């Protein structure tokens, strides 16, 4: 019988290989004219490459692991279930940062996470244009291009922090008002050093892991944005919570991801919560 460790090694090497193939397709299409359509609203884009890449990733994963379960952004958009069971489940975002991809902004990534008992065991995030491969394995660490990631000297308070936030696709005026209120409150109250938006939830979290950002918060990310990257943060020594500061919830559609706990505790009371619909409802 293969040991648990052998299994994990097989999972992670397979995921890296598939992410690499997916990344090569994204690289090939990046400078070409894209076939773009919209999903829920005019700001919610999808390209033929998103669909193609997800299809290829799932066909490879299903061949290798026929007994596992699968959740992917474009499959869910096509009506497939996003219900998460306790079974081993591969959760995939073929292109995280589709708007960036369409506009040739390099913050695009393939995200492949393996979740067992609703906890991430393996995470691979590959940003093919930036040539950054992030890999995390539960209890075995997080790595960027083979280098172990360890968050050192996290900020003592938000006024020493570089933080990130995403607007998402929703242009409803009430939602926009709540989001801008949060940004204004944080800027005024905490005097943060800067507020960034990369357009990729997964890469924001990977940047916490590699100490390029100190905190990222958002209402709206889906399980496929966070399935791989939450493990990257944790294995690098960072922390993930909901926007209420409670235990991280993969299906809960809110995130605070940070280098240290103290800045999470500092930001939570400042936040005005925004209603979101769970991924499993």
Residues lying near ligand 2AM in the complex (CB under 6 A): 43-44, 73, 93, 95-99, 166, 168-169, 199-201, 218, 220-221, 225
- Annotation says 18 is catalytic: no
Neighbours of 178 (CB within 10 A): 16
Q: Does residue 234 bind Ca ion (CB under 5 A)?
A: no
Catalytic residue from among 95, 129, 163, 256: 95
Q: Which is nearer to Ca ion, 7 or 169 (CB)?
A: 169
Tell me, by CB under 5 A, how many residues bind Ca ion: 6
Q: Does residue 73 bind Ca ion (CB under 5 A)?
A: yes
Asked if 121 contacts 138 with a C-beta cutoff of 8 angstroms, the reply is yes
Catalytic residue from among 93, 132, 166, 170: 93
Classify 181 as helix, strand or coil: helix
- Annotation says 99 is catalytic: no
Catalytic residue from among 50, 225, 249, 266: 225
Q: Which of 114, 119, 92, 91 is nearest to 249 (CA)?
A: 119
Residue 113, CB-side half-sphere exposure with 13 Å CA sphere: 30
- Closest separation in Å from C-beta 207 to ligand 2AM: 13
- Annotation says 266 is catalytic: no
- Annotation says 225 is catalytic: yes
Q: Which is nearer to ligand 2AM, 26 or 186 (CB)?
A: 26
Q: Which is nearer to Ca ion, 93 or 234 (CB)?
A: 93
**Which conformational region is residue 220 in: left (phi greater than 0), alpha (psi within -120 to 50 degrees), or beta?**
left
Q: Does residue 93 bind Ca ion (CB under 5 A)?
A: yes
Asked if 230 contacts 254 with a C-beta cutoff of 8 angstroms, the reply is no
Structure tokens at 100: 């960036």
Structure tokens at 174: 């009430």
List, by residue number, the catalytic residues.
73, 93, 95-96, 98, 225
């Amino acid at each position: 019988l293969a040991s648990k460790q052998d299994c994990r090694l097989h999972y992670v090497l397979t995921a890296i290989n598939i992410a690499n193939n997916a990344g090569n397709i994204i690289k090939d299409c990046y400078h070409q004219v894209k076939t773009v359509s919209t999903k829920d609203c005019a700001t919610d884009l999808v390209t033929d490459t998103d669909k193609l890449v997800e299809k290829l990733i799932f066909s490879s994963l299903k061949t290798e692991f026929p007994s596992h379960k699968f959740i992917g952004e474009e499959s869910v958009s096509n009506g497939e279930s996003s219900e998460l069971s306790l079974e081993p489940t591969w959760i995939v975002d073929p292109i995280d940062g589709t708007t960036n991809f369409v506009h040739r902004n390099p913050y695009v990534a393939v995200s492949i996470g393996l979740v067992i008992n609703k906890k991430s065991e393996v995470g691979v995030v590959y940003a093919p244009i930036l040539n950054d491969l992030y890999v995390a394995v539960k209890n075995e660490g997080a790595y960027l291009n083979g280098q172990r990631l360890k968050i050192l000297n996290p900020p003592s308070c938000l006024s020493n922090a570089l933080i990130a936030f995403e607007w998402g696709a929703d242009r409803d005026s009430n939602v926009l008002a709540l989001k801008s209120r949060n940004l204004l409150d944080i800027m005024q109250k905490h005097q943060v050093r800067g507020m960034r938006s990369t357009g990729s939830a997964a890469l924001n979290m990977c940047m916490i892991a590699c100490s390029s950002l100190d905190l990222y918060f958002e209402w709206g990310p889906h399980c496929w944005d966070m399935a791989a990257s939450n493990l990257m943060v944790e294995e690098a020594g960072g922390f993930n919570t909901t926007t209420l500061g409670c235990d991280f919830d993969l299906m809960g559609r809110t995130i605070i991801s940070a280098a240290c706990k103290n800045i999470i505790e500092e930001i939570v009371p400042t936040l005005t919560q925004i209603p979101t619909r769970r991924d499993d409802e």
